[in-house]
Structure 1
Amino acid sequence: MTKDSAIKALLFDVFGTVVDWRGGVARHVGPFLGRRNMAVDATEFADAWRREYSPAMEEIRSGRRSFVRLDVLHKENLVKVLRSFGIDIDSVTADELDELNLAWHRLDPWPDSVEGLLRLKRQFIIAPLSNGNIRLMVDMAKRAALPWDAILGAEVVRAYKPSPQVYADTTDILGFSPAEVCMVAAHNGDLAAARQCGLKTAFVLRPVEHGPGQQSDLRAEQSWDYEAADLNDLATQLGCPT
């Protein structure tokens, strides 16, 4: 497939699409759980923490709460999850909480991510369109060698996906029309919201984002502009050389 000459920029969902949040969070919280002799599986803890993600953002999307960056929401959610697992929050120091919260800054890329992004970067502007805040995205990019051209997303426009404002304002910041921008995500809902704002769409399959028993986003649920097995496959479809 040849390059779509209309596309000038690719915007990427990050958590789950570019990096393995579940494995990274579990790796980071495992030692903390071990020190407390807790019979809690680290991936179970990661899943519980992630389940608080969307409800916390919905408070902001709905207007019930003013915008705060994702690091703040993650830390508040961490306290909730610690309590739900029976941990006395008063026994956890502020430094421990801050260190645990940095798990989201230290996630590993999927095996194809860096190579695929480098190929795509040669022909397109590439940037995250993530709910993660700027510092989080920068720390992650430095650690994982993610070669972004810019850091964009929720904190820049002060709104959370899938609010239309996120896609529209980010496209405007880049100076392109929506048809010149392609949203890349492993989540059908993210792509549906982007398409409604006029962006082109690329579905990337990540069948173990939620572990081996994943039941969601195992296939493209609409006729997206592109459907790829991974980021290298997307680069090939878009005509990027190896």
Structure 2
Amino acid sequence: MTQVQALVFDVFGTVVDWRGSIAADLGAWGAQRGIACDWAALADDWRARYQPQMQRVRSGAVPWTVLDALHREALEELLPKYGLQHLDEADRCHLNRVWHRLNPWADVREGLRRLKSRYVIGTLSNGNVALLVNMAKHADLPWDVVFSAETFHAYKPLPQTYLGAAHMLDLRPGELMLCAAHNDDLAAARAQGLRTAFMPRPTEYGPSQTKNLGPEQDWDVVASDFVDLAQRLGV
């Protein structure tokens, strides 16, 4: 572990509570506007379209498209289901940009502050750059660098995302650690030679979550949260 020079973090689910944030943000907005909706269910349906949309880009079925645009495409499909097809363009833009306004889990800021004292810390996310930068400002996330799928025109788990981050930091893969709450993301990173740290987020998908409740491989570090990760890395 002494070789690790930098930590990069998956963001959606690992750093921020996307489901709870969307339900709270849009719930408050809807209450002000007199718009009733099951916002948590909308968040779930929205997120369910995430991997299929990115796979169309990965496969070359559609050209490179940033996540904001994929989110908007999915939102347009969902509006009639939730009785929101009457919303005007300004409202639709506001809803789509909720992904820029996600809030971190309670342990994140303290853990990142401690980790930043020793390591370079940054994102390695499928979110586009504008989304990640705006989220960092909103949530007070102290990144040194923002790596995005947009940086490499490749969505995780394509190898060029993991190797691209190491290359841009002038590090060997083994000097970079991916920190994530998702076993599949860590497996893809490990396959490219990165070190790995797992922290579970057992309520990412709500109270009935059934996956990523624990480590599925012998990751280099398994921690309960970001503060515990900092302690296990000696900071």
The amino acid of 1:15's aligned partner reads F
Q: CA deviation at 1:105?
A: 0.5
CA distance in 1, matches of 2:170, 2:80: 45
CA distance in 2, matches of 1:37, 1:66: 35
Residues 199, 87 of structure 1: CA spacing in aligned structure 2 closer, same or farther, 3 A cutoff? same
Is 1:69 matched up with 2:61? no
Secondary structure, counterpart of 2:145 in structure 1 = coil
Q: Using the aligned pairs only, state the percent identity.
A: 48
Residue deviations 1:126-180 (CA, integer Å, cap 9, x gap): 0000001111111111111100001112011111011111111111111100000
Residue deviations 1:75-120 (CA, integer Å, cap 9, x gap): 11111111233443xx221111111111101111100000000100
Residues 37, 106 of structure 1: CA spacing in aligned structure 2 closer, same or farther, 3 A cutoff? closer
TM-score by length of 2: 0.96
The amino acid of 2:25's aligned partner reads H
Task: State the match for 2:228 in structure 1.
Answer: 233
Secondary structure, counterpart of 1:47 in structure 2 = helix
The unaligned stretches of length 5 or more in structure 1 are: none
Contact 1:19 1:110 in 2 (8 A): yes
Q: CA deviation at 1:28?
A: 2.3
Contact 1:188 1:221 in 2 (8 A): yes
Task: State the match for 1:164 in structure 2.
Answer: 159
Contact 1:200 1:225 in 2 (8 A): yes
The amino acid of 2:66's aligned partner reads R
Q: How does 1:12-161 map onto structure 2 within 5 Å?
A: 12-31=9-28, 33-34=30-31, 35=33, 37-38=35-36, 40-88=37-85, 91-161=86-156
Is 1:212 matched up with 2:207? yes
Task: Report how many aligned residue pairs link the two structures.
Answer: 234
Q: CA RMSD in A?
A: 1.3
CA distance in 2, matches of 1:53, 1:216: 16
TM-score by length of 1: 0.93
CA distance in 2, matches of 1:37, 1:16: 27
Residue deviations 1:44-99 (CA, integer Å, cap 9, x gap): 111111111111111001111111111111111111111233443xx221111111
The amino acid of 1:7's aligned partner reads V
The amino acid of 1:135's aligned partner reads A
The amino acid of 1:127's aligned partner reads G
Secondary structure, counterpart of 1:232 in structure 2 = helix
Q: Give the alignment partner of residue 224 of structure 1, picking from 212, 219, 227.
A: 219
Secondary structure, counterpart of 1:217 in structure 2 = coil
CA distance in 2, matches of 1:74, 1:147: 25
The amino acid of 1:142's aligned partner reads K
CA distance in 2, matches of 1:172, 1:83: 44
The unaligned stretches of length 5 or more in structure 2 are: none
